[in-house]
Amino acid sequence: MKKKTLQTIAVAAGVAGLMALSPVPEDKDLSRRAGDYFEQIRRDPLLLTAFFTAMPKGGDLHHHFSGSMYGETYWQILADHNGWINTSTMDVDTPGTEHALPWKRFAALPRDARFDSLKQAFLRSVSAKDYEASLRPSDEHFFATFGKMSFVASFGMEEGLRELKQRAVSENVQYIETQTGQPDMRIDQPESADWEKSLTGVSLKDSLVVFGILDKVRDSLLAHGAVHWADSCRRRMAEIHRNANVDDSTFILRYQLSASRAGAPLSVYRRLMLAFEVASRDSLVVGVNLVSREDGEVSMRDYQLHMLMFAHLDRNYHGRVPYSLHAGELTAGMVRPEQLRSHITEAVMVAGARRIGHGVDIAYESAWKTVLDHMARKKIPVEINLSSNEFILKVQNELHPVLLYFTHKVPVVISTDDAGVLRTDLTRQYVLLATRYPSLRYADIRQIVSNSIRYSFIRPAALKEEKLRQLDIAFARFEQQLLRYGTGKVIR
């Protein structure tokens, strides 16, 4: 009986992907019966997988473009363009440069007897596939993939965007907000050495002094062509987006531009300012973020300074550019205990983040209760990444704070961070959520899905409203199909 149910739900998922949207009146009784069915199958991981594949999941608000592409896509891009692979280290390169052995052209690989094992070794090197903890720490392996593949992701961005869309549509995701980097502005600032020194040495307790220095940096960037840089960045992204042809009537993709928190202070500020400048003028680039490992040497040293940079930019762009901040992607043992006390607090209270990414160390923060109350009152969501936190931080099950946020009425969203590196998808994240946290009911999960559109950075507001309406329609259709394709024994 279970096999039959699994099959019929999968059929329902396929049908849902093909049918055009039309208004469906809300039916509370139908939702209740879908909830009853969900409770009956929630301990069966296969039926749960089929259920969540078919369920509309709204948006994936936290993932990085290069980490979301699967290794197979990178392999295909390099093969299509006859790139290079180092057959010892599995490093790769795009076609432009020349290399000597053990580098080989992709065109030569099909004649290599080791083809299959080379491909598998490559996939392991850029993802958690067959990961062996004894060979390399998981956090190091995860973050190393970005340095290894980001330039190939930029090179094959259109192919990558098409892959992200294909996966989203196949698992009934209506929106994705993907983080991607942008080049630094090549603007010569003669005073930069002095400013860099001042920013590194300044007392961060006096934010007015920091703002004074940042005012000068910003004025100088504007006087030397920052708007021109922003315009060319916008044009390039718009062209790639158009060529990749990802948006249609039921699916859209938008971007957050990010800076690495591992950079030198002025470089971080320049990249952030360029991101703010682009996002303030564009509806494809809808937000800004700060990336790289949070426990890195420079990230920890400059954390407070970065929060002040966001506060400064927020003031200068009159609160018009939303941003999400990775904060609290830390856990006990990763850093000293006293370094777990304030990152989320500062991201929310000082930087003014509109959303928080991860928030894993919240219970270790001195002001945790005040922060949770503030996030609940101001509707500042937390982006929860279960697989990512399990792989990188070893935090899962009851040690994960997802229910702490949920019970404090902080809006929760579920995201992938990142599907390609972790060999996962958004469906899997919902399966983990439902399996690990049985107190969450179907209605709660439906609310979590709705949050992923409501608290997205989609603009204009009318487009967000339209996406919310489409989500309601998709849920009604999903619930109807559960009833129609159910065995009749499970759903009455």
Q: Where does this chain bind Zn ion (CB under 5 A)?
A: 417
Q: Which of 65, 80, 258 minimizes the C-alpha distance to 154?
A: 65
Between 71-80 and 115-125, two packed helices, what is the crossing angle to 10 degrees? Answer: 120
CB of 358 to Zn ion, least distance (A): 7
Residue 409 backbone class (left: φ over 0; alpha: ψ -120 to 50; beta: rest): left
Nearer to Zn ion, 31 or 154 (CB): 154
CB of 145 to Zn ion, least distance (A): 13
CB of 63 to Zn ion, least distance (A): 7
Q: Which of 433, 459, 415 minimizes the C-alpha distance to 68?
A: 415
Report d(CA 478, CA 293) in Å as an integer. 38
CB of 171 to Zn ion, least distance (A): 20
Amino acid at the residue 228:
H
DSSP per residue, 160-192: HHHHHHHHHHHTT--EEEEEEE-PPP----TTH
Nearer to Zn ion, 355 or 454 (CB): 355
Report d(CA 473, CA 250) in Å as an integer. 11
Report d(CA 179, CA 195) in Å as an integer. 29
Nearer to Zn ion, 302 or 383 (CB): 383
Nearer to Zn ion, 54 or 61 (CB): 61
SS3 state at 355: strand
CB of 419 to Zn ion, least distance (A): 12
Nearer to Zn ion, 60 or 417 (CB): 417
Nearer to Zn ion, 365 or 417 (CB): 417
CB-based contact 452:173 (threshold 8 Å): no
CB of 6 to Zn ion, least distance (A): 32
Please name the residue that has the structure tokens 């100088």: 220
| Beta pairing class for 252-260 and 412-414 | unpaired
CB of 418 to Zn ion, least distance (A): 7
Nearer to Zn ion, 71 or 359 (CB): 359
CB of 258 to Zn ion, least distance (A): 9
Instruction: Give residues with Cβ within 8 angstroms of 80, minimum separation 6.
Output: 159
Nearer to Zn ion, 47 or 307 (CB): 307
Nearest residue to Zn ion, by Cβ distance, number only: 417
CB of 415 to Zn ion, least distance (A): 8
CB-based contact 386:396 (threshold 8 Å): yes
Strand stretches in 187-338, DSSP E: 252-260, 285-291, 324-327
Radius of gyration (Cα) for the chain, nearest Å? 23
Between 2-18 and 461-485, two packed helices, what is the crossing angle to 10 degrees? Answer: 140
Report d(CA 472, CA 489) in Å as an integer. 26
Nearer to Zn ion, 282 or 417 (CB): 417
